[in-house]
Structure 1
Amino acid sequence: MNDAVELLTLQATDPTLLTVREFRHGLRDALRAAGLPERASNDLMLAFQEHATNTLAHGSPPPKNLTLRLTREGAHWTLTIEDDGGPFDNFDGYTALATWADKRTDLRPNGLGLRLIGTRFPDHRYWPGMPAAGEANVLSLTLPPRASEILKPFVVIVEDDPTQRMVLKYLLSDAFRVADFERAGQALRVVRSHPADLILSDIEMPDMDGFAFRRELAKDHRTDTIPFVFLTGHSDDETADLASDLSIDDFLEKPVTQPILLRTARRLIRRARNLRERLVLDREKEATESLSVNVPKQIGGVQLAAASQSATAGGGDLVQTVSVKGRDVVLIADVMGHGLAARFFAHGVAAYFRSVALGANAPSSVDGLMTALSDALYNDPTYERTVVSAQMLAVDSDGVVEVASAGHPFPVHLSAEGPALVEIGGPLLGLADDLPFPSRQVTLAPGDRLLAYTDGLTEIGTERQDQTAAMQRLFAYTRDLADRTPADGLKQMMDRHREDAAGTSQDDVTALVLGR
C-alpha cells in the first residue's frame, strides 16, 4: 500500500549551471502537479539548487553525470540527488555545524545551503561514493521528516583520519544518527548547543587532542555527563591511566569490530537514559500524572470520544480542546518516546497549545494555530531534541472538520463507501521557524466517523515494518466504529487493540473519534 511511486527522473551528462536551472524548473513543475504545498516545494527546490551548485563548483573532480529523482511513499516525499564527482568530505559534520552550532547567528553564504538541509530535512542522508569504482555520491532529502530516523540516538565521531571516520560512520549509521568531525573543536561547538547521546573520539589529533577535548567537555554540566569513549590504536598503561583519570565511560582499541562497537554504544546510551529517567522520577513527581483526555462529548451535531493508554508510567500522548474565536479546536499529539520524560514534555506541549490558542492574537485557522505552536516549541531550547507530531481538528456544529497535520498519521474517514485515509502531510513541530502546515476539510455525513490516532494504534509487533498489514488492521478497527456511538465504538476498538497487542512491545496509544 505504501510502495514508492516515482514522480520524476532527470539525468544529464557533463552538467553545467544551466543544467541545474533546467532541473529546478522540471522539479518545480512536478511538485506543482503532485500538489505539494508551496513552502515545502520551495524548500526542496532550494535544497537541490544549493547542493547541485556546490557539487559543480567545488567537486574535485567535478561530476560528469548528475541525476535527480523525486518519489512519494505514503505521506513522505523524497528527493534524491546523485553525482559522480569528488565526494564532500565531512558533509554531516559541516551540516551539523551550520544547523546547531550557529543556529541563531548569521552564516556565510556557503553555509546557508547546509543550514537549510539541516533544519528542513533533519533526517537527510549523504553517502560519499567511490567514483573510480562507479559508485555515485547520494544525498537523500525527505518531507515530512521520518520520525523513525529522527528518534535514533545522536552519536558524534571525532577522528582526523578520513578513512577511519568513514568506516565508523558506516558501522553506526543504520542504528544511529551520526555526525562526524575531523577536529575536536568542531565537535565541541556542536555538542554545546545540541548535546549528543554518545561521543566517540580519537586521542591523537591536531589542534586539540582527545584528552583536551574531554577536559573541555567536563567544564560544562550540559556536556560533562555525555557518555564518552576513546578509540585508539595505543594500549599502553600510560594512555589507559590518562583516560581513566578523565572519567571516560569506555576505551576501545582500533580496529574495532561492528558488534563490539554497537554493543558498547547501545549499553552506554541505555544506561545514560535510564539515569535521566530516574532523575525525572525523583524531581518531577507531577510528571507521572497523566494529562487528562479533554474533549467535549458533543459539538452541535457532532459527537466526540477520546481515550488513551500508556505503555509505561507517564507517556507522551495527549488530547486537549480549547475554544478559539467561537470554534472548538482539538489537539491530538504524540511526544516521541516513552515514560516520564515523554510525559514531562507532553505537559509542556499542552501548555503551549493553550497559550497560543487563547492569546489575543490567536490565528483563527488550524494551519495558523499549528504554525504558532510549532514556533513556540522551536524557540524553546528545551524542545531542541524532542520530536513531536500532532493534528489539530476544528469542529463545526454542521459536521465540517478542518484538519491540519504535523508529521502525524493520516486520519481515517469512515463513510457509506467504507474507510479511506485522509491524506494530509506536514513537517513535525518545532523543526524550524515559521513552518507551513497544510489543512483539509472533511465533511461528516450522518453515520460517518472520523478517526484520529497516534502511531501506537498501528505499530504492533512485526507490523511496525509491514505497513500493508498495519493499514489492514487500522481499517478493520475503523469498520468497528460503524453503527455505534463514537464512545461505544472507541471502547470496543481500544479493547480489541489491547488484545491484539498483548505480549508484544507496545507504544502509547491514543485515539479520537468524531461522528454524526
Structure 2
Amino acid sequence: MTLRIFEANRTATLQDVSWLRKAMGRELRALRLPVESLDDLQLAFSELATNAIIHGSPAPSFLDLAVDIDGSLLMITLSDDGGCFNGFHAACASVKESAISPEATSGRGVHIVQRAFDSMDYRPTEHGNVFVGRRSLRFSRAKILVVEDVQCLLTTYCEHLSHDFHPIGCTSLAEARSVIQTQRIDAVLTDFHLADGSGTCLLAEYDKLWPEASPPVILVSADKSPQIKDAALRFGAEFFVEKPVKREQLISTIRLALDRSMIRNARLTRSFGRHVDALVALAPPEQIGAYGLGVVAATAASGGGDILLHHRHEDFERLVIVDVMGHGVPAKAWAVAYAAIIKTLQQERALDAAGFLRKLSEIAWNDRSLESALATVMVLDINDVGATIASAGHPPPLVFGNETIRIPVGGPLLGVMPPCDYASTTIALNPGDRLVFFTDGIDPMDVAAGGAPPHWFLQAFETSRSFTLDRTLASVKRAAERALGPQPADDWLVAVLEKAAPR
C-alpha cells in the first residue's frame, strides 16, 4: 500500500527548485524521519533539479515532484520535460568506484545523490525524464559527529567519511553541544585544540546527556607531545590520532572504535536481556490448528529487537511479528514495550488484522515514549482455510507450494506518520503449503530497502520442499549462518507455517 505524502508541479526555475525543496521539507518534517534522511533527501533533490535546469538540452519547462511511502521505503519521483541525460548510469558507476576529493567539482552532485538513496532508477521518456530514488527508513549509516575549527579540514574529514558513514560537521564546541542535545551520535571525531575549548569537553558533555549510550570519541591533534596523548586517553578517548590523517586511517579508526563500542554495548545488552527475555521470549506453539509452526532466529552482538507473539481468539489464532529498528538495550527495551502493548490490545476481540495495526499505529504515534522506536509489524490471523495478513512496513511473506509466491501486502511502518488505515490480504493455503515470514535481518541492505529475499534464502526453501518442517528449518539456519555468520550484523528471525494434509 503506497501513500502519497507530497506532490507538486512548478515551472523549471532555480527559484521554484528552492520552493519545492522547502515545501517537501515541510511535509517530511511532519513525519518522524531520521534527521539525516531529511537532510540527504532535500540536498539530493536540489542537485537533481538544478542539474536538469542548468544542463538539460533542451532545458525543461516544468518539474513534477512526488514523495511516497511504501512500507518502510520512502520514494522520491522527479519528472521533467527536458532533454535526456544519456550518461546518467555511467556517471553513477564511475563516481561509485572512487571517493570524491574535497577540491573536486566533477561528480560531486552524483555523489550526493548516491549517498541519499539506497537504489535509483532513471529513464528517459518521449516526454522528458523520470528519476526515482528509494531510501529505506529502517537502515541508516552510523552518525559521526566531526568537530574541527579549520573549515578546509572539516570539509575534508566529512568528504572522507560520507561514503561509509553519515558525518555531521561542526566548527566549534558550541555547535557540537547543540547537536548532541538533540541527536544520538554513534561516534565523535574531534580536534583536541578548538578555538572555544578542548575536544575532551565533549566526553563529559555526552556522559551528562546520554549516560546510557555514550559514543566512542576519537581525538585528533597536530600536537605530538606525549602529554597531549596521555591527557586524551586519560579523559576517556577511544583513540588519539596525529595529524595529518589519511582517509584510510580515518575510516579504519572509526570502524574499530564502533566495533569496540558495539562489544561493550553487547555485554550491557546481555545483562539487561537476561532480566527481560521472559517477556519477549520466542515461545509460540509448535501447532496452530491445522498448521505446524517452526521458528529459527539469531541475535546480533548488540541486538534484541525481533519478537514473535501468539494469541488465541475464538475464530482464529493470531501471530504478530515485530522488528524494532536499532540494536542494543534501546531495541530490547522498545521490543518489551511493544510486547506489552500488543498483549493488551489482543483483548479487544473486535479488531481484525488491519484494525489491529490501525490501533497499534495510533499508540505508536501518540505515545511519546515510542517516538524513537520505529518498528515494522506484521499480523497474521490464521484459520483452517488460510490466513489474513496485514503489514506495517514489514517484508512481504512468501508461500512455497507448487510455485513460490510473494504475498503483496504493505503499509507504512509504525511511528513514522500519523495513524492511517491498513489493508489486509486473505490467502488460501493448500495441504503442504508453507507460509514463510521473516525480518529484514536476513539481508539488512536489500530487504530493508524493499528488495526480494536473497538467493541463499530462497534456495534453502526450494531445495527442502520435500523435507520435514524441522529438517527444513535446520537447513535454513545453516544457510543463514553461512551467509550472515554465527554472529550476524542484525537480528534475524524466520518462521514457517506448514498446512498439514487432512487425516
Same fold (TM over 0.5): yes
Counterpart position of 2:317? 328
Q: Name the CA distance, whole Å, in 1 between partners of 2:200 and 2:300.
A: 40
> Structure 1 residue 235: deviation in Å?
3.0
Counterpart position of 1:136? 109
Amino acid at match of 2:270: L
Map 1:210-359; keep pairs closer than 5 Å: 210-220=199-209, 222=211, 225-236=214-225, 239-240=228-229, 242-244=231-233, 246-282=235-271, 284-287=273-276, 291-295=281-285, 297-299=287-289, 303-310=291-298, 316-323=305-312, 327-335=316-324, 345-358=334-347
The change in CA–CA distance for 1:213 and 1:309 in structure 2 (over 3 A counts) is closer
The change in CA–CA distance for 1:456 and 1:238 in structure 2 (over 3 A counts) is closer
Report Cα offsets for 1:481-516 as digits up to 9, x if no partner: 57xxxxx75323212223434555144432131537
Report Cα offsets for 1:204-238 as digits up to 9, x if no partner: 44556534444433444627842112223333456
Say whether 1:412 aligns with 2:398. yes
Give the one of 376, 389, 410 matched to 1:389: 376
Q: Name the CA distance, whole Å, in 2 between partners of 1:128 and 1:433.
A: 38
Map 1:467-478; keep pairs closer than 5 Å: 470-471=454-455, 473-474=457-458, 477=461
Q: Contact 1:172–1:178 (CA<8 Å) still a contact in 2?
A: yes
Give the one of 442, 450, 453 matched to 2:438: 453
Q: Contact 2:409–2:424 (CA<8 Å) still a contact in 1?
A: yes
Report Cα offsets for 1:145-164 as digits up to 9, x if no partner: 537732x4332222344433
The change in CA–CA distance for 1:80 and 1:163 in structure 2 (over 3 A counts) is farther
> Structure 1 residue 264: deviation in Å?
1.8
Number of residue pairs aligned between Structure 1 and Structure 2: 425
Counterpart position of 2:356? 369
Q: Contact 1:335–1:346 (CA<8 Å) still a contact in 2?
A: yes
Q: Contact 1:454–1:510 (CA<8 Å) still a contact in 2?
A: yes
Amino acid at match of 1:413: V
Report Cα offsets for 1:120-171 as digits up to 9, x if no partner: xxxxxxx999996475374546798537732x43322223444333322232
Counterpart position of 2:497? 513
> Structure 1 residue 291: deviation in Å?
0.9
The change in CA–CA distance for 1:375 and 1:440 in structure 2 (over 3 A counts) is closer
TM-score by length of 2: 0.65
Q: Contact 1:324–1:364 (CA<8 Å) still a contact in 2?
A: no
Of 329-338 and 272-281, more deviation after overlay is shown by 329-338
The change in CA–CA distance for 1:481 and 1:305 in structure 2 (over 3 A counts) is farther
Q: Name the CA distance, whole Å, in 2 between partners of 1:206 and 1:346.
A: 43
Map 1:473-484; keep pairs closer than 5 Å: 473-474=457-458, 477=461, 480-481=464-465
Q: Name the CA distance, whole Å, in 1 between partners of 2:156 and 2:236.
A: 26
Q: Name the CA distance, whole Å, in 2 between partners of 1:68 and 1:163.
A: 36
TM-score by length of 1: 0.64
Amino acid at match of 1:249: E
Q: Name the CA distance, whole Å, in 2 between partners of 1:473 and 1:268.
A: 32
Counterpart position of 1:173? 162
SS of the counterpart of 1:156? strand
> Structure 1 residue 366: deviation in Å?
2.9
SS of the counterpart of 1:259? helix
Report Cα offsets for 1:403-437 as digits up to 9, x if no partner: 22233322113455x1121233444443x353547
Q: Contact 2:101–2:159 (CA<8 Å) still a contact in 1?
A: no
The change in CA–CA distance for 1:411 and 1:284 in structure 2 (over 3 A counts) is closer
Q: Contact 1:295–1:330 (CA<8 Å) still a contact in 2?
A: no
Give unpaired runs (5+ residues) of structure 2: 1-6, 25-29, 32-37, 81-99, 119-132
Q: Name the CA distance, whole Å, in 2 between partners of 1:248 and 1:266.
A: 15
The change in CA–CA distance for 1:13 and 1:245 in structure 2 (over 3 A counts) is same
> Structure 1 residue 349: deviation in Å?
3.1
Counterpart position of 2:139? 149
Of 386-395 and 131-140, more deviation after overlay is shown by 131-140
The change in CA–CA distance for 1:372 and 1:197 in structure 2 (over 3 A counts) is farther
Counterpart position of 1:79? 76
> Structure 1 residue 353: deviation in Å?
1.7
Q: Name the CA distance, whole Å, in 1 between partners of 2:478 and 2:201.
A: 55
Q: Contact 1:158–1:180 (CA<8 Å) still a contact in 2?
A: yes
Q: Name the CA distance, whole Å, in 1 between partners of 2:10 and 2:468.
A: 52
Q: Contact 1:295–1:320 (CA<8 Å) still a contact in 2?
A: no
SS of the counterpart of 1:358? coil
SS of the counterpart of 2:346? helix
Q: Contact 2:436–2:494 (CA<8 Å) still a contact in 1?
A: no
Amino acid at match of 2:394: H
Q: Name the CA distance, whole Å, in 1 between partners of 2:369 and 2:195.
A: 34
Q: Name the CA distance, whole Å, in 1 between partners of 2:104 and 2:160.
A: 21
Of 247-256 and 10-19, more deviation after overlay is shown by 10-19
SS of the counterpart of 1:308? strand
Report Cα offsets for 1:448-481 as digits up to 9, x if no partner: 4422123455789x9999x788247416615745
Q: Name the CA distance, whole Å, in 2 between partners of 1:53 and 1:345.
A: 32
Q: Contact 1:280–1:340 (CA<8 Å) still a contact in 2?
A: yes
Of 473-482 and 187-196, more deviation after overlay is shown by 473-482
Report Cα offsets for 1:335-384 as digits up to 9, x if no partner: 4677888656544432232133336xx87243443354455556777766
The change in CA–CA distance for 1:411 and 1:238 in structure 2 (over 3 A counts) is same
> Structure 1 residue 191: deviation in Å?
2.5
Counterpart position of 2:472? 493
RMSD: 5.2
> Structure 1 residue 199: deviation in Å?
0.9
Counterpart position of 2:92? none
Q: Name the CA distance, whole Å, in 2 between partners of 1:280 and 1:444.
A: 41
Give the one of 376, 387, 402 matched to 2:388: 402
Counterpart position of 1:444? 428
Counterpart position of 1:120? none
Give unpaired runs (5+ residues) of structure 1: 1-7, 26-38, 41-46, 84-126, 483-487
The change in CA–CA distance for 1:343 and 1:188 in structure 2 (over 3 A counts) is same
The change in CA–CA distance for 1:437 and 1:297 in structure 2 (over 3 A counts) is farther
Q: Name the CA distance, whole Å, in 2 between partners of 1:128 and 1:63.
A: 25
Give the one of 152, 158, 170 matched to 1:163: 152
Q: Contact 2:75–2:135 (CA<8 Å) still a contact in 1?
A: no
Say whether 1:187 aligns with 2:184. no
Identity of aligned residues (%): 19
